[in-house]
Chain A
Amino acid sequence: MIWINRVLRAVFDAVLSPFAAWSPWVGLALVSLVSAVGVLWIFKRTSNQDALAAVKSRIHAGLFEIRLFNDDLPAIFRAQTSILKANAKYLWLSLPPMIWIIVPLFFVFAQLQFHYGYEGLRPAETALLTLRLEEGAEELAAGTKPAVTLDVPAGVEVQAGPVWAPALRELSWRIGVVESGDYEAVVGYGGVEIPKSIRSTDRVARLSPNKVAPHLMGQLLYPAEDPVSGAPSVEALEVSYRERALDFLGWQVPWWLAYFVLMILFAFALRTPMGVTI
């Protein structure tokens, strides 16, 4: 899983880096377009296109029947029953391609979340760096503050902390960014040095708010950085980046909503040129 994530990170970084200085809408529109093409391609190859066309014709026929025989109650009832059956069939026929689509889309979504879901730290901005321990960490049982160190490179400063909050199983520092750049802080805990990326940028860039323990679910959900290794008591190491919202005519919308809406619009626009029945 670590290697899959590394490859995906490299691909998405390469694809999106030309648009890093532009409005997030630009890169997002491009990814939505590519996603729409990919979704249509998968849909075409994993669905029974003839059966889908037939069932859609049946639905259309039912709708016409209702319109033509709107004074014949039994005919309307028959047509509605036919439409409902056809709809159920349509959903059934759509299920296999949807399952095929969900898998790659999940990985795309997970990658995009860390490009568009957060904003990089700005110079003079502060954030929390938090080390969260597993429930079984020995310090929790002993009731002692864990021995921990934090080394930050020039460009980042530790302003306060660490605060030990046993109820949260967390050790937190307040860090501040002095100047823009890509940094790596190192947390020392239990004899292990855990690196953590910290990015200060006003561009669209991959940001990793969570570096998690190396279990599968964590790797699927937080692929933006390699997992914590060699420190079994550590659940996560986090940086509190601000969440990003996209401006749409004065409205603040989450990136994923913009992505899905754009992808659907592109898919509808491209279905005929690509010869796909959806």
Chain B
Amino acid sequence: MALAAVLASLSLFSCAKAKLEKQVIVLGFDGMDYQYTRRLMAEGRMPNFSKLAETGTFGPLATAVPPQSPVAWSNFITGMDSGGHGIFDFVHRNPDTMQPYMSTSKTEGSEKAVKVGKYKFPLAGGEVKLLRHGTPFWELLEANGIESHIYRMPANFPPSGSASFELSGMGTPDILGTPGTFSFYTSDIFVNEREISGGAIYALDYWENRAEGRLHGPENPFLQRRQTLSADFALHVDPESPVAKLVVGDEQRVLAVGEWSDWVPVAFEMIPTQVLPAMGRFYLRSLRPEVELYVSPLQIDPISPALPISTPESFAAELARRTGRFYTQGMPEDTKALSGDVFSREEFLAQAKITGDEILGQYEVVLDDFDGGLLFYYFGNLDLICHMMFRSTDPGHPAYDAERDPEYLKVVEATYTAFDRIVGYTLEHMPDDAKLIVMSDHGFSSWRRAFHLNDWLIEKGYLTVKNPSKVAGTNIYSNVDWSKTRAYGLGLNGLFINVEDRESKGVVPKAERAALIAEISEELLAEIDPATGEPAVTRLYELEETYHGEYLGLGPDLQVGYNKGTRCSFESAIGDLTGEVLEDNMAEWSGDHCMDHTKVPGILLTSGELAKPASSLKELGGAVLAEFGITWSGTSTGG
């Protein structure tokens, strides 16, 4: 009897041990397209993918509606659709003010403060709130005693706090609280200081081979008067050679023209004894005839994070001490600098390589440390390179330059093959019995035609402006006549009905909402792009039919599924008007995925069969749990 008890306990122990030692590695490759991957595999250019597919599974993974990263990753995290997790787009709108706001997180300062002279001393810290709802699937692992290591999961800032180790990813702001604001400094006296999308241009004071400038931080929370924090820097230019010495506080770097610095810590003094730590990378673009210096968006310093970016909070600093400082901003590839003509394509690719190498280097350390449970690691490099470089792969793109683009033809492919090597590296370094799951949140397409949804609504009489003679270049929030507006567009796919008693200036009675949605849907589906002869829109998603859960009130009445190659314009997404309905997309941002979700599936590649097959992002979290023998019925709503 006693022997049986001992054997039973030993058996239990060995089961528990086996459970703890189980390893599942999930690699999240943002934007990896199923069709493109399949083609490269067929051509033998992704041998590690092919090798894995031979012994496991490879197929498309249905993306989210709409196929936007924050929505898609939230589907994966929670097993719910937008109605359940509350993320419908990058931006949501406040129906009271009709103003857009970031959908995934909210930062609030402390309201109570003691005021002394020109200073105010907050009585409590501010708060950063994750607006994504629902239970992350890794919470069930933790509840079962299995460690989860979640690196850079999008739509997870601030970190959920429920994983053993977490590092926040997409959605993590820079030190200004923006998605990323670079600074460009020039000694050219003919260049005006100004803000541009995603950045700002500043003048340098330059005399006797010495340039001086100022780094700009957020508002000083200790001052009653609004005043931004700043930190001075100097650039000592060598009189003979193309090289300079950068001095920022106590930090010094020597940079030759064309070189990037490593991370330079920056301390913004708020009051004596209190500093806001940040860090930036400096790129010395030119010294002659003008001094030109690019400074990356100043980041939350992981050594001393100003906002919570990891679980436990000390984890980011521990990681940084092991691997060196790293980009903490959500989407670090500086697409805005390329779009704003501050970067050339080579410079953008060089910067993207720095971010990619940094994240890959950290992955190698993380994988080496990983000894059981779940490891999720996110790579966003491919997505942003595809956004900016896709036109070089598409001679049919209106902005395709037959002279310049062939030079970049292989950039996207090279990024895919680099990701193939990541899979190869993982296979070499993981135990034989570990399960590897490679997935992406959506696919990709060339973005040839820009659809100005709000201008279309004007043309069809659903949106009325106050001043019809001056539509182009205005904003719906300044030029719209809400009393005569029945529908408006906001976000990359969203269309809202201006409903009475829901929108602050709503005019459409609730009883007429459904009929109006049907009417608009019919007209949108009938819209033919005169340039292509193809429908501009191929699928529409009604709120109540598409989503389930308690957060339907945040979503648009209609999500517009654009035809492959067409996407909502940037202008319309934030409510700007142009006077055009459809036009060629001539922007550097030449690839996209915010279209009909059936046309841009992601990928799912696994080593061996999954214990529970998954065909969509919503099902994948449950499939990961099934690898550990955990059954997940999905969260209560929004399934």
Looking at the assembled complex, report how far the CB atom of B316 sits from the nearest CB atom of chain A, in whole angstroms.
Answer: 12
Residue pair B245, A163 in contact (C-beta under 8 Å): yes
A19 on the interface (CB 8 Å rule)? no
B254 on the interface (CB 8 Å rule)? yes
B353 on the interface (CB 8 Å rule)? no
Looking at the assembled complex, report how far the CB atom of B236 sits from the nearest CB atom of chain A, in whole angstroms.
Answer: 3
Q: Which residues of A contact B247 (CB under 8 A)?
A: 168
B240 on the interface (CB 8 Å rule)? yes
**Given known A126-B262, A160-B243, contact A250–B238 (CB-CB < 8 A):** no
List the B residue with the shortest CB-CB distance to A174: B254
Q: B251-292 CB contact bits vs A (8 Å, 1 = yes)?
A: 011111001001000000000000000000000000000000
B473 on the interface (CB 8 Å rule)? no
CA distance A250 to B256 in the complex (A): 37
CA distance A250 to B241 in the complex (A): 45
B14 on the interface (CB 8 Å rule)? no
A167 on the interface (CB 8 Å rule)? yes
CA distance A159 to B260 in the complex (A): 12
Segment 144-199 of A: residues with Cβ below 8 Å from B = 145, 159-168, 170, 172-174
CA distance A145 to B238 in the complex (A): 8
List the A residue with the shortest CB-CB distance to B284: A160
Residue pair B252, A240 in contact (C-beta under 8 Å): yes
Q: Which residues of A contact B262 (CB under 8 A)?
A: 126
Q: Which residues of B contact A168 (CB under 8 A)?
A: 236, 245, 247
Residue pair A162, B252 in contact (C-beta under 8 Å): no
List the B residue with the shortest CB-CB distance to A161: B254
Q: Give the most central of A162, A163, A165, A166: most B CB within 10 Å.
A: A163
Q: Which residues of A contact B256 (CB under 8 A)?
A: 160
Residue pair B252, A164 in contact (C-beta under 8 Å): no
B244 on the interface (CB 8 Å rule)? yes
**Given known A126-B262, A160-B243, A160-B255, contact A167–B314 (CB-CB < 8 A):** no
Looking at the assembled complex, report how far the CB atom of A98 sits from the nearest CB atom of chain B, in whole angstroms.
Answer: 30
List the A residue with the shortest CB-CB distance to B262: A126
B239 on the interface (CB 8 Å rule)? yes
Residue pair A128, B259 in contact (C-beta under 8 Å): no
Residue pair B210, A167 in contact (C-beta under 8 Å): yes
B238's contact among A126, A162, A167, A240, by CB below 8 Å, is which?
A162
Residue pair B314, A250 in contact (C-beta under 8 Å): yes
Q: Which residues of B contact A166 (CB under 8 A)?
A: 208-209
**Given known A145-B239, A168-B236, A250-B314, contact A163–B244 (CB-CB < 8 A):** yes
CA distance A164 to B245 in the complex (A): 8
Q: Give the most central of B210, B238, B254: most A CB within 10 Å.
A: B254
Residue pair B259, A163 in contact (C-beta under 8 Å): no
CA distance A166 to B210 in the complex (A): 9
CA distance A172 to B255 in the complex (A): 10
Report how many residues on chain A are interfacial, defined by Cβ distance under 8 Å: 20
Looking at the assembled complex, report how far the CB atom of A62 sits from the nearest CB atom of chain B, in whole angstroms.
Answer: 37
Residue pair B252, A128 in contact (C-beta under 8 Å): yes
Looking at the assembled complex, report how far the CB atom of B402 sits from the nearest CB atom of chain A, in whole angstroms.
Answer: 38
Residue pair B210, A163 in contact (C-beta under 8 Å): no
Residue pair A172, B245 in contact (C-beta under 8 Å): yes
Residue pair B243, A161 in contact (C-beta under 8 Å): yes
List the B residue with the shortest CB-CB distance to A164: B238
Looking at the assembled complex, report how far the CB atom of A83 sits from the nearest CB atom of chain B, in whole angstroms.
Answer: 34
Looking at the assembled complex, report how far the CB atom of A166 sits from the nearest CB atom of chain B, in whole angstroms.
Answer: 8
Segment 197-247 of B: residues with Cβ below 8 Å from A = 208-210, 234, 236-241, 243-245, 247
Looking at the assembled complex, report how far the CB atom of B314 sits from the nearest CB atom of chain A, in whole angstroms.
Answer: 5
Is chain A's binding surface mostly helix, strand, loop or mixed?
strand
CA distance A250 to B315 in the complex (A): 10
CA distance A69 to B255 in the complex (A): 73
Looking at the assembled complex, report how far the CB atom of A141 sits from the nearest CB atom of chain B, in whole angstroms.
Answer: 15
List the A residue with the shortest CB-CB distance to B240: A145
List the B residue with the shortest CB-CB distance to A245: B321
Is chain B's binding surface mostly helix, strand, loop or mixed?
strand
Q: A260-276 CB contact bits vs B (8 Å, 1 = yes)?
A: 00000000000000000
List the A residue with the shortest CB-CB distance to B251: A240
Q: Which residues of A contact B259 (CB under 8 A)?
A: 160
Residue pair B210, A172 in contact (C-beta under 8 Å): no
Q: Which residues of B contact A130 (CB under 8 A)?
A: 252
Q: Which residues of B contact A240 (CB under 8 A)?
A: 252
Segment 549-584 of B: residues with Cβ below 8 Å from A = none
Looking at the assembled complex, report how far the CB atom of A261 sits from the nearest CB atom of chain B, in whole angstroms.
Answer: 22
Q: Which residues of A contact B314 (CB under 8 A)?
A: 250
Residue pair A167, B243 in contact (C-beta under 8 Å): no
**Given known A163-B243, A163-B244, contact A128–B238 (CB-CB < 8 A):** no
Q: Give the most central of B234, B243, B255: most A CB within 10 Å.
A: B243
**Given known A165-B245, A172-B245, contact A128–B254 (CB-CB < 8 A):** yes
List the B residue with the shortest CB-CB distance to A170: B245
Q: Which residues of A contact B234 (CB under 8 A)?
A: 167
List the B residue with the shortest CB-CB distance to A130: B252
CA distance A173 to B236 in the complex (A): 13
CA distance A4 to B236 in the complex (A): 39
List the A residue with the shortest CB-CB distance to B303: A252
CA distance A168 to B208 in the complex (A): 13
Segment 215-266 of A: residues with Cβ below 8 Å from B = 240, 250
CA distance A166 to B207 in the complex (A): 12
Looking at the assembled complex, report how far the CB atom of B269 sits from the nearest CB atom of chain A, in whole angstroms.
Answer: 20
List the A residue with the shortest CB-CB distance to B255: A160
Looking at the assembled complex, report how far the CB atom of B53 sits from the nearest CB atom of chain A, in whole angstroms.
Answer: 36
List the A residue with the shortest CB-CB distance to B312: A250
Q: B367-396 CB contact bits vs A (8 Å, 1 = yes)?
A: 000000000000000000000000000000
Q: Which residues of A contact B236 (CB under 8 A)?
A: 163-165, 167-168
CA distance A130 to B236 in the complex (A): 14
CA distance A160 to B256 in the complex (A): 6
Looking at the assembled complex, report how far the CB atom of B207 sits from the nearest CB atom of chain A, in whole angstroms.
Answer: 11
List the A residue with the shortest CB-CB distance to B234: A167
Q: B314-332 CB contact bits vs A (8 Å, 1 = yes)?
A: 1000000000000000000
CA distance A165 to B314 in the complex (A): 39
Q: Which residues of A contact B254 (CB under 8 A)?
A: 128, 159-161, 163, 172-174
Residue pair B255, A164 in contact (C-beta under 8 Å): no
List the A residue with the shortest CB-CB distance to B256: A160
Q: Which residues of B contact A174 (CB under 8 A)?
A: 253-255
Q: Which residues of B contact A165 (CB under 8 A)?
A: 210, 236, 245
CA distance A108 to B245 in the complex (A): 35
**Given known A165-B245, A250-B314, contact A172–B252 (CB-CB < 8 A):** yes
CA distance A164 to B239 in the complex (A): 7
Q: Which residues of B contact A161 (CB under 8 A)?
A: 238, 241, 243, 254
Looking at the assembled complex, report how far the CB atom of A76 sits from the nearest CB atom of chain B, in whole angstroms.
Answer: 37
Q: Give the most central of A162, A165, A172, A173: most B CB within 10 Å.
A: A165
CA distance A130 to B210 in the complex (A): 18
Residue pair B239, A128 in contact (C-beta under 8 Å): no
Looking at the assembled complex, report how far the CB atom of B318 sits from the nearest CB atom of chain A, in whole angstroms.
Answer: 8
Q: Which residues of B contact A173 (CB under 8 A)?
A: 254
Q: Which residues of A contact B210 (CB under 8 A)?
A: 165, 167
Q: A9-38 CB contact bits vs B (8 Å, 1 = yes)?
A: 000000000000000000000000000000
List the B residue with the shortest CB-CB distance to A247: B321
Looking at the assembled complex, report how far the CB atom of B138 sits from the nearest CB atom of chain A, in whole angstroms.
Answer: 24
Q: Which residues of B contact A159 (CB under 8 A)?
A: 254
Q: Which residues of A contact B237 (CB under 8 A)?
A: 163
Looking at the assembled complex, report how far the CB atom of A250 sits from the nearest CB atom of chain B, in whole angstroms.
Answer: 5
CA distance A240 to B256 in the complex (A): 18
A-B contact pairs, 20 of them (CB 8 A): A128-B253, A145-B239, A159-B254, A160-B255, A160-B259, A163-B237, A163-B244, A164-B236, A164-B239, A165-B245, A166-B208, A167-B210, A167-B236, A168-B245, A170-B245, A172-B245, A172-B254, A174-B254, A174-B255, A250-B314
List 7 other contacts, CB 8 Å, given A164-B239, A165-B245.
A128-B253, A160-B243, A162-B243, A163-B237, A163-B244, A164-B236, A172-B245
Interface residues, chain B, with chain A CB atoms under 8 Å away: 208-210, 234, 236-241, 243-245, 247, 252-256, 259, 262, 314
Q: Which 8 A-B pairs have the closest CB atoms?
A: A165-B236, A174-B254, A163-B245, A160-B256, A163-B238, A160-B254, A161-B254, A163-B243
